[in-house]
Amino acid sequence: MDWESSFYDLSVAAARQLGLVTRAQAERAGVEAAALDRFEETGMLWELDWSVYQLASSPTDPTPAYSYAAWLAVEPDRFASERPAEAHKGAVLSHESAARLFGLGPVSVAGFDITAPEPVEAPRAVRVHHAALAEHETAVRAGVPATAPQRTVVDLLRSGTGHDEVAAVLGDALRRDLVDLAGLHIELVPFADTCGFPAEGARFAEHFQLDRLAARSELSSRNVRALAELQAPARVTRLTASLRRLGEGGGDGADIAAVSTDPRLLRGIAAEIVGRSGTGA
């Protein structure tokens, strides 16, 4: 057996997959099982799980490595290059596993979650969910296809994850501007009764501990505005009316006059002012 050629073939296959390869892929690359076992014995690679191996030379950190291994294990005989180029058309990491991959919240659930558009066999310790995802609901993090943070929050709530844990995930995502709070609230409202959380803006914000995001400098402008609209919509409405009157009056309000004819823009300015100055009603 030509060990050198076998390891070269294995390395070429793994190089396209973050330094990882499945046993089934190795066999397709012409690497015999005995050679794979020999490489493991000598420390040239090690098994992460599910007959997925990582080359010792791979620079991939443990979190993305195990996440990618779980993703490979769902379809172990298919190389990554043979899977859908658009993440949403294939299997992706999801739920707590996606949150862990993005570094959101203190995820406590062991194992891995995968969401796929078609039924696939679930490897040991991998939970498979069947759902069709839109393109904007997926993202690639550290080379691993996963649900985007906004979809992840929705999935966590709908799957019964504790609301304190969801709040921690959401808070981290907001601080990093990985979610659109206004859009997320609209998306979650239909599930309020079944998932046991309040739909009304101020109570929603309190329930998910958004009031703890007191340092508005942590938030992007879009999420400052969204939080103000949730917590103090009446105050935003009053300030919008005041700004409109100021613009219509001319004089020192000349700058406001330029935007006073655009209600959406004017309300956005008012919401940001309220958000930056505190959102008391």
- DSSP secondary-structure letter at 84? -
pTM above 0.85, yes or no: yes
- pLDDT in the model for residue 256: 59
- DSSP secondary-structure letter at 105? S
User: What percentage of the chain exceeds 70 in pLDDT?
Assistant: 93
Question: 256 Cβ partners below 8 Å, 6+ apart?
Answer: 243, 244, 246, 247, 266
Asked: is 1-61 a CATH 2.60.40 domain? The reply is no
Distance CA 179, CA 172 (A): 10
What is the number of other CB atoms lying within 10 angstroms of the CB of residue 266? Answer: 19
* pLDDT reading at 82 higher than 60: yes
Distance CA 278, CA 255 (A): 24
pLDDT tens for 141-183 read 999 999 999 999 999 999 999 999 999 999 999 999 999 999 9
* pLDDT reading at 257 higher than 90: no
Distance CA 85, CA 215 (A): 40
pLDDT tens for 88-120 read 999 999 999 999 999 999 988 889 999 999 998
Burial label for 81, CB within 10 Å (0-12, 13-18, 19+), is: exposed
Task: Quote the mean pLDDT of the chain.
Answer: 92
Question: 130 Cβ partners below 8 Å, 6+ apart?
Answer: 115, 116, 117, 118, 119
Distance CA 178, CA 100 (A): 14
Question: 48 Cβ partners below 8 Å, 6+ apart?
Answer: 20, 54, 65, 66, 69
- Residue 244 pLDDT level (bands cut at 50, 70, 90): confident
* pLDDT reading at 71 higher than 60: yes
Phi-psi region of 52 (alpha: psi -120 to 50; beta: other; left: phi over 0): beta
Element (H, E) at 188: helix 181-188
